[in-house]
Amino acid sequence: MLIKDKNCSAVLNGGLAALLLCALSLSVMSSKDVSAHGNDAKGSERAYNAYKLRSRAAWKNFLEPIPEQPDNGDEDRYLNRLNSYSKGLPHDENGLVDASAYELLLKAVDSGKSADFEVIPKGIDAGLGLRNPLAAFSYLMEGKDPHSFAMPAAPAFNSAWQAADAAEVMWQALTRDVPYSDYATSPLITAAVADMNSMSDYRGARTDNAVSSQSLFRGVGVGETTGPYISQFLLMQVPYGATKIEQKYNVPVAGNDHLTNYQEWLHIQKGGNPSGVTTVTYEDEPRYIYNGRSMAQYVLKDFVNQAYLNAAQIMRKFGSAAYDKNDPYKGSEQARSPLFGNNHAVDLLSRVSMSSQNVAWFQKWLVHRRARPEVFFGRVHNHLTKEAVSYPLHDDILSSASLQKVYAAYGTYLLPTATPKGSPLHPTYPAGHSVMAGAAVTMLKAFFNGDYVIPAPVMTSHDGKSLLPFVGAPLTIEGELNKLASNISLGRDIAGVHYRTDGDLGIALGEEFAISVLRELVRTYSEEFEGFSFNRFDGTAMVISK
């Protein structure tokens, strides 16, 4: 037999030593073992090599230390669960979850049994259900297991980091209708810049060690503060089979905000559908992504790999110079495709796009269970408007100028969201969109040349109805891919459903997952090449070789 089952029969009872002996027995099979597998020696050798490739990858992952899974301690610190995810469950008039219902949620995430999730009570009869918590328990067949990744603890409720996270989300809501072309001159943007500079623990992008109109609401990856706010891959025309697609989208009208009415906010926290207090109203014609509202609308309606599929098609039209420097078919008499061409890149970015969500869902449901921004500002509202309510909010958020702005506009301190239903019914940290962005963009970086300068870059007009030539510093594939990931990630913040930390740290998590997949796949190719080469989001150079 190829697999020596007798040598491994006591594995389950023998501990790690027995497992190591079993692994050794699987890896030292002789040519005699292979030839005995069948009459076709060549076929048997191929089968053995395929088996060895898969088993070695599995053993390598198995033998890695199991990481610690840190959390911010808020779930234990606050027995009223004021910073724990509970949307869809019963809540009191202050928006605090029913204790017994939350205990049933904890029981379910501990057991992983579908039946335990089914008995968690809903806040409203026939209300919305929790978003696929069982995905947190699933397995993958490529890359490391979802439970073998770790990420930093989310900011604690009473921390300066949380305050900065929250203030930024509020300013993103308040500035949704400011065109990106007006950021340098808008008084509202100037106020947002001043407030973010006053935060004692803000971890967003900066220029010359300070937040500026050029760095405001941008990602922290290499090249992201260069050029227009929106990535070229969200603006340029997309070659799409036998046609081309202009990246124009239906955008809600200015001021079309939601969840600023307290009773509607509470209804939504209980899992209710929007009652019609506010509805979505659209502009009379599609627009390019030209302001925060259009960016938010894109990420509220996009499908699984839309942005990254489009980016791959755009880069394909740049020609062979846009492919990775280590591409095995550069200078070859052979032609790429099916492997190492655009179709290969699209396949891999799609494969990690979906599986990255298993990685994200483990962290969301089984580790952090962090409440959404709309919940945080519900706490702020009650703290500031009800004498009997007091929460340990950091001074940085209580002194933020954004609170006076939102109260003057809506008469509450609630976060104006870009959609009437607010956030989805799953925890906020990390953001699924962000983990996917990190994974998919990493795959694109592995196939394309990050130093390639994008020809004929564009920017949006003031009203988003047209594209204009961009004249300025060169824009590279690396910088614009980093920017693409952050546009998608921070776009969810602009919509009011996530924080920056959900995004920036989610992108890093997705990047780690994609790297684990590439480390396995690189050994499956017969082409001789130096390996996949690219820079991580923080600029660290990577080469993944055989």
- pLDDT digit string, tens, across residues 130-139: 999 999 999 9
Token pair belonging to 286: 């599609």
Tokens of 526: 């017969």
Judge whether 407 lies within some domain. no
Q: What is the rounded distance in angstroms from the CA atom of residue 437 to the CA atom of residue 341?
A: 20
Q: Are 370 and 452 in contact (CB under 8 A)?
A: no
Q: How confident is the model at residue 64 (pLDDT cuts 50, 70, 90)?
A: very high
Tokens of 38: 């069948």
pLDDT tens-digit series, residues 404-459: 999 999 999 999 999 999 999 999 999 999 999 999 999 999 999 999 999 999 99
Residue 353, domain CATH: 1.10.606.10
* 488 and 452 in a common domain: yes
Statement to judge: residues 237 and 118 lie in one domain: no
Looking at the structure, do residues 168 and 133 belong to the same domain, yes or no?
Answer: no
Are 114 and 251 within one domain? no
pLDDT at 194: 98
> Cα–Cα distance between 30 and 51 in angstroms, integer?
14
Q: How many residues does the chain have?
A: 546
State which of 122, 148, 174 marks the end of a domain.
Answer: 148
Is 225 domain-assigned? yes
On the question of pLDDT at 10 being above 50, the answer is: no
127 and 39 both lie in a single domain: no
Averaged pLDDT of the chain:
94
Q: How confident is the model at residue 43 (pLDDT cuts 50, 70, 90)?
A: confident
Last residue of a domain, one of 148, 171, 187: 148
Answer yes or no: do 338 and 195 share one domain: yes
Q: 392 lies in a domain? A: no
Whether residues 47 and 105 share a domain: the answer is no
The boundaries of the domain holding residue 439 are 160-256+280-369+424-544
Domain for residue 403, yes or no?
A: no
Query: Which pairs from 333-342 meet CB under 8 Å and 24+ separation?
Result: 339/525, 339/527, 340/447, 340/527, 342/312, 342/313, 342/315, 342/316, 342/447
Give a yes or no: residue 384 inside a domain.
Answer: no
Final residue of a structural domain among 148, 168, 191: 148
- 186 and 126 co-located in one domain: no
| Whole-number pLDDT of residue 39 | 54
CA nearest neighbour of 393 among 41, 83, 12, 39: 83
Q: Does residue 239 fall inside a structural domain?
A: yes
Residue 270, in any domain of the structure: no
**Is residue 405 in some structural domain?**
no
Model confidence over 317-376: pLDDT tens digits? Answer: 999 999 998 999 988 889 988 999 999 999 999 999 999 999 999 999 999 999 999 999
Q: How far is it, in rounded angstroms, from Cα 107 to Cα 117?
A: 9
pLDDT tier, 58 (very low <50, low <70, confident <90, very high otherwise): very high
Average pLDDT of span 200-211? 96
- Please tell me whether residues 349 and 450 are part of one structural domain: yes
My answer on whether 305 and 208 are in the same domain is: yes
Q: Strand 243-245 and strand 541-544: pairing?
A: unpaired
Q: What is the pLDDT of residues 72-113, one digit of tens each?
A: 999 999 999 999 999 999 999 999 999 999 999 999 999 999
Q: What is the pTM of this model?
A: 0.94
Dist. CA 473–CA 436, nearest whole Å: 29
* DSSP code at position 458: E
Same domain for 525 and 461, yes or no, is yes
Query: 128 in helix, strand or coil?
Result: coil
| Active site residue ranges | 426, 433
Q: What is the reported pLDDT for 25?
A: 52
Q: How many separate domains does the chain show?
A: 3
Same-domain status, 28 and 122:
no
